[in-house]
Amino acid sequence: MSIFLSYKRENQDAVERIVRGLRGAGLAVWWDQDIAPDAPWEQTIEGELTKAKVVIVAWSQAAVGSENVKAEARRARNQGKLIQVYVEPCEPPLFFGERQGVDLSTWSGNPGDNRFQAILTAVQAIFASKRPPEGVGYRSAKRTPWGVLTALFVAVSAALGFVSNLGGARNAVCAIAAINETCVQYGLIAPMVDPAVARAEARERLMQRLTGTWGRMDRDCADSVVFAVTLGEDEVYRVRRTAPGLDSIEQVSTIDTDNDVVTARETLPGEDGRREQWEYRPNGAVLALRDAAGTETTLARCE
C-alpha cells in the first residue's frame, strides 16, 4: 500500500520534508520526483494515483490555483482516501475547506511533532480500512442518502421516462449539486468537465505523446533520440533531446491540441548565436519534425 503526494512545484522543499518523514516511518510514498526521465509522465502519474491507498494533497496558494492538483484532490476525496495538509497559509478550493486539514506551514520536519503524528495516525487508519481522526480532510466513500435516492430513481426511471430525459426531468434533477456525482456514477449524465481542466489535460496528453525514444524510419532505430518532457515551476513545458553528441533543451512556445502540433525553441543559442526552433507533430508511432527552414524529418517510435 502506498501514499501519493499531490502538490505544486513551488512547494517542493516543504513536500520533500513530508516525504522524508513518511518514509522514515517505514511507509511507501510516491511523488513525481520518482518519475524516470524516459517514463510517460501523464500515464505514470495516473497509474500511481489509481494505485495509491492514501492521497495527501499539500495546499498552498499555487496549489489552489492548479487545475491538476484540484483534479487529483477531487478524485481522492470521492474515493475516500484524501488527507489534506497546508504547507503555507491559504484559502482552500471550493468544497475542500469544510473538511479541514493539518497545518504544516511552520513544520520544520520533526517527525515527533504532533501535527505530523496526526498525519501518520490518519494514514495508518485508512490503510487499516478504519475512519481516521477528524480534522484531516477525510470523507468516507460510502454512499450518501442522496446516492440511495438516486439509485431508486434509476430502478424506476425507465417506466417514468426519466432515463430518456423526458421533458428535461433527468437533467434538472441531476443538476442538483448534492446528487450530481451519483447521477454520473450511475451513467444518467456525463460528468461535468471544467473547460480549463479539459484544456490542461489535452495539452498534457499531446506532450506525453512526444515523450520517448525516436529513430530514423530508414535506419531501424540504429540512430535514436530520446525526448523527455518536463513542466517547470513557471508552468512552461520543456523538451530535452538527448543522443550521442546531442543534448538540447527547448522551451515550448505553443501547443496546438486541435492540430497536434508542438512548437519549441532552444533555450541556449548555438555556436552561431541562434536558437533553433522546431515543430513537432506526434501521431501514434510516428513523429514528424520540421525545422525553421521548413525541412521535415520523420521518425518512428523505438521499442
The per-residue DSSP string of 74-90 comes to HHHHHTT-EEEEESS--
Distance from chain centroid for Cα 119: 22
What single-letter amino acid sits at 267?
Answer: T
The band of 200, judged by pLDDT with boundaries at 50, 70 and 90, is confident
Residue 229 cell numbers, joined: 518532457
Residue 178 has pLDDT above 60, yes or no: no
Angle at 216 (CA atoms; ends 212, 273), nearest 5 degrees: 80
Name the H helices within 52-194.
61-64, 67-78, 114-127, 145-160, 169-174, 177-185
**pLDDT tens digits for range 71-99:** 899 889 888 899 999 999 998 887 776 66
Name which residue leads in pLDDT, 215 or 181: 215
Return the pLDDT at 272.
Answer: 76
Q: What is the pLDDT of residue 223?
A: 80
- Cα torsion 225, 229, 232, 238: sign: positive
Amino acid symbol at 251: Q
- For residue 200, give the amino acid letter: A
- What does 35-80 look like in DSSP terms, one character per residue? S-TTS-HHHHHHHHHHH-SEEEEEE-HHHHT-HHHHHHHHHHHHTT
252-285 confidence digits (pLDDT tens): 999 999 899 999 999 888 777 788 999 999 988 8
pLDDT in tens, 218-232: 666 778 899 998 888
Average pLDDT over residues 134-141: 78
Give me the mean pLDDT over the 9-31 stretch.
94
The pTM score is 0.52
Q: If pLDDT is split at 50, 70 and 90, which confidence band does 40 have?
A: confident
Confidence category of residue 109, pLDDT binned at 50, 70, 90: very high
Considering the chain, what is the average pLDDT of its residues?
Answer: 83
